[in-house]
Chains A and B, each alone.
Chain A
Amino acid sequence: MEHKKLNLTLKVWRQHGPKTPGCFVTYPIAVSPDTSFLEMLDEINNELEKKGKEPIAFESDCREGICGTCGLVINGQPHGPIPRIATCQLHMRNFKDGDTIYIEPFRAKAFPIIKDLIVDRSPMDRIMEAGGFISVNTGSVPDGNAIPIAKEIASEAMDAASCIGCGACVAACKNASAMLFVSAKVSQFALLPQGKPERYQRVEAMVKVMDEYGFGSCSNTYACEAECPKGVSVKNIARMNREYFMSKIKG
């Protein structure tokens, strides 16, 4: 539109499949500062397709920062340089003319690369399936207002529940730990009266699967909270550790 285009050099990780070696490929581009980061990749892909070349494989869906599908490491940071947004919400006005930008997939032992910038994050779902729920059947519940919940507790549960399951916490952590992700769900349910009856089985089951998939442990660097697009707090990790400890005592 009215703004002058930015001339950028992109270094994008290309890798044909999980077993083939990958490398950075350079793409120069001139882009409007009003464009979003992913729209910039769309533009490159459109040019590649015009030439009959394979576009860069990357995932995104809602492009509003809520579905958790997108996730790129941009210049070494999951979701890029701006705090508290997902990759899809990053706009090019945050870059300068002449910048070189490195674009990589999320890297973690538990997230094998599928193609280019797409990784397999399904272990996160396996953890959820192990215990991330409250066991109520459809139709079996009391009236919504039967159990009052203090506003502060509901808000705290909501803050934990705002996790979008993108995996940036894992990608940011030097140990590739999923503690922030898991603790967000554990906390949400441990805080609410509806979740209390199963709190200890829940945390044990989820932590067990988390360990099985090779996610690392937490060494308190807080990198996860810093890169979390929803600002989920590391306080949740402390709460999960407490829940886990209690589960062992209560056995």
Chain B
Amino acid sequence: MVKLDAKVPEGKLEEKWMNHKFNMKLVNPANKRKYNIIVVGTGLAGASAAASLGELGYNVQVFTFHDSARRAHSIAAQGGINAAKNYQNDGDSVYRLFFDTIKGGDFRSRESNVYRLAEVSNNIIDQCVGQGVPFAREYGGLLDNRSFGGALVSRTFYAKGQTGQQLLLGAYTAMNRQINLGKVKLYTRREMLDIVVVDGVAKGIVVRNLITGEIEKYSAHAVILATGGYANAYFLSTSAMNCNATAIWRAHKKGALFANPCFTQIHPTCLPVHGEGQSKLTLMSESLRNDGRIWVSKIKHDMRKPNDIPEEERDYYLERKYPTYGNLSPRDISSRAAKEAVDDGRGAQGKEAVYLDFQDSINRLGQKVIEERYGNLFEIYETITGDNPYKSPMKIYPAPHYTMGGLWVDYNLMSTIPGLFVAGEANFSDHGANRLGASALMQGLADGYFVIPYTIGNYLAGDKPTMVKTDHKEFDKVKAEIEEMTSKLLSIKGERTVDDFHKQLGRIMWNKVGMARNKKGLKEAIKEIAGLREEFWKNVNVVGDSNDVNQCLERAARVADYLELGELMALDALNREESCGGHFREEYQTKEGEALRNDAKFAFVSAWEFEKAGKWKLNKEQLKFESVKLATRSYK
């Protein structure tokens, strides 16, 4: 068993981070250039960490599989970023943002981490403004805000419907400045395939050069993984095509514990599936729920067009069930309510979809205002579906979107492998069992700008890690393992394509480890995934060779990892005999069908230790709540 020590600092909640910053060891400014740090991933967390570490004077090597650092999937976040500025004078505070996040996460996250997140949220907004991020402004020239799900204050900052893009470009430009100054070296088109651990400490990585196919070795004093989440285990998700779990999964297999893998977020407002050939799902920003009303027909199997259904025959189910939060109920609750309506036979025109209707808002505010607020989102909708949402309601349905689970990290964001840090969506740290809207951008940038630059210094100054050369035998061993796996994949020459396996896995995950889970289904899923994995290694057809651009090979290696990770997600869901946040076990619900937590038995983080594919050991980090009282989450 691994001994989990979260290293939460002593003291009052609001003093922990301040005290910790003071108590941390510092690296002499003149010595920082003697340290090399590897950052994998150039999304919000990776780019902001690379930029900030470069500014401090460290030598940073940053890796991305994209052709450009600007393409990381943070770019697709639409709605906004939270901060406790209280510019709206509506009662917001650091404590309220902390509380909303803990409650939104259904009391399954670490108090100290979440408080720190809320604490640094304000610095993030300042930082981004300073970098030239063109946030939306009011006529007086000050920053504008809007509301998001799970909060009763307006604390979300935004840049049209392209907030993620603008924040990422801010971090990307800050990193570019360090590239220009020679402090950051960027490696594009490199996919990390393993980490290298020497005597139990992370010392470097092994990557595949996606152009030449060569396996390359890089060493450093510390490694940061900022490689995003694993929602693509579902095949269809809002994640980008190339988002994958390989970096964190390979680190997991080298000893990093994987926390809460079953905590996945199914986002309520996505476009419904159009057919078999669908490659991914498109999100419609949650901000639409500020002015859109969600409804289905009261009548089962109602095939009428939405505009032909009279007002009194419509069920605005979120407003009915949760009058206080209404259409701004948190994501997990809204998604499940949509599923219930569809399972009840009341989906839009018999389909797996519900309506998101702007007619009332258009009548109240005029089409121009709605166009100003959501114009680009309405355009996206019309481009994809061919329907005009100004004329008839949008059709939406939940889709896998974000993964709260990830590699286990302590308060310093270090994994169970010393020297291996994990930032952003790739770690499990801040969102518990459900993430609130506009909090992913906040966490990615908090980790990269304001947490890791401090804590990594503490590691370097405290542990004084040495650097090993890439001709060390461990590097060669890992490289040989990767090459062997590559030739194995290429030599199978079976009957089924990589995507075929991925789609089948996705169906198992969506049906049995999706919005609602039960013991029987999860047990079946575990068996089916193990069987599918076995078949994959006998019957997949990976075409092409290894010394060239080979996208088929890239996908095959990622799917091989999903076929292991998927099983762990199901195992974790089976083990957690309660419902909380995005994890809904049908056996554990109230009479009204709400999630029923079991704090006595399950107020812990499950941190899984890899033994071999299909076999894990469970470690538990007990969650202590000293500041908030555990309560049943109510949005009524």
Contacts and interface: CB of A to CB of B under 8 A. Distances in A.
Interface of A: 1, 17, 31-32, 34-36, 38-40, 42-43, 46, 48-50, 52-55, 57, 59-69, 82, 84-85, 89, 91, 93, 114-115, 118, 120-122, 124-125, 128-145, 147-151, 154-155, 157-158, 161-162, 164-165, 188-189, 192, 194-195
A57 B549 contact: yes
Contacts of A189: 132
Given A61-B71, A145-B142, A89 B380 contact: yes
Interface of B: 48, 51-52, 55, 66-71, 73, 75-76, 85, 87, 123, 125-132, 134-143, 159-160, 162, 164-166, 169, 172-174, 176-177, 179-180, 186, 188, 211, 240-242, 274-275, 277-280, 282-283, 379-380, 383-384, 386, 449-450, 453, 493, 497-500, 541, 543-544, 548-549, 551-552
Given A67-B71, A129-B179, A151-B138, A134 B543 contact: no
Nearest to A33: B386
Given A64-B380, A89-B384, A142-B126, 6 more contacts: A38-B279, A64-B76, A91-B384, A125-B186, A144-B126, A195-B132
A233 to B, nearest CB: 15
Nearest to B211: A114
Given A93-B386, A129-B180, A165-B68, A60 B134 contact: no
Contacts of A17: 548
A69 B66 contact: yes
B73 A34 contact: no
Contacts of B179: 129
Nearest to A115: B549
A152 B125 CA distance: 20
A141 B67 contact: no
20 contacts: A1-B275, A46-B499, A49-B543, A57-B549, A62-B73, A63-B282, A64-B76, A64-B380, A67-B73, A69-B67, A84-B379, A91-B383, A122-B68, A133-B174, A138-B48, A142-B130, A148-B140, A154-B137, A192-B134, A194-B129
Contact of A138 (B55, B160, B497): B55
A58 B635 CA distance: 46
A49 B279 contact: no
Give the one of B52, B240, B453 with max A CB within 10 A. B240
Contact of B279 (A36, A141, A143): A36
A92 B132 CA distance: 38
A19 to B, nearest CB: 13
A61 B141 contact: no
Nearest to A93: B386
B498 A194 contact: no
B85 A144 contact: yes
Given A61-B73, A67-B240, A68-B70, A133 B450 contact: no
A114 B450 CA distance: 38
A54 B384 contact: no
Contact of B176 (A68, A132, A158): A132
B143 A134 contact: no
B188 A122 contact: yes
Give the one of B66, B87, B126 with max A CB within 10 A. B126
A157 to B, nearest CB: 4
Contacts of B48: 138
B141 A114 contact: no
Given A64-B380, A132-B176, A34 B275 contact: yes
By Cβ-Cβ distance, the 5 closest A-B pairs, closest first, are A148-B141, A141-B130, A133-B173, A158-B134, A157-B134
A179 to B, nearest CB: 19
A240 to B, nearest CB: 16
A133 to B, nearest CB: 4
B541 A50 contact: yes
B210 to A, nearest CB: 10
Contact of A134 (B123, B130, B188): B130
A194 B132 contact: yes
Contacts of B123: 139
Contacts of A158: 134, 136, 159-160, 166
Contact of B127 (A55, A139, A164): A139
Contacts of B449: 138-139
B331 to A, nearest CB: 18
A29 to B, nearest CB: 11
Contact of A66 (B68, B76, B552): B76
Given A63-B241, A114-B211, A192-B134, A120 B67 contact: yes
A116 to B, nearest CB: 8
B240 A141 contact: no
B129 A144 contact: yes
A84 B379 CA distance: 10
B604 to A, nearest CB: 34
B55 A161 contact: no
Given A34-B274, A91-B383, A154 B125 contact: no
Give the one of B132, B173, B240 with max A CB within 10 A. B132
Contact of B380 (A52, A65, A68, A157): A65
Given A1-B275, A66-B162, A194-B130, A52 B543 contact: yes
A241 B437 CA distance: 41
A70 B181 CA distance: 30
A126 to B, nearest CB: 9
A67 B76 contact: yes
Given A63-B241, A165-B70, A143 B126 contact: yes
Nearest to B179: A129
Nearest to B164: A66
A223 B12 CA distance: 61
Contacts of A34: 274-275
Contacts of B548: 17, 115
A36 to B, nearest CB: 7
Give the one of A38, A84, A157 with max B CB within 10 A. A157
Nearest to A34: B274
B549 A136 contact: no
B497 A46 contact: yes
Nearest to A68: B71
A62 B383 contact: no
B134 to A, nearest CB: 4
B280 A63 contact: yes
Contacts of B169: 161
A169 to B, nearest CB: 15
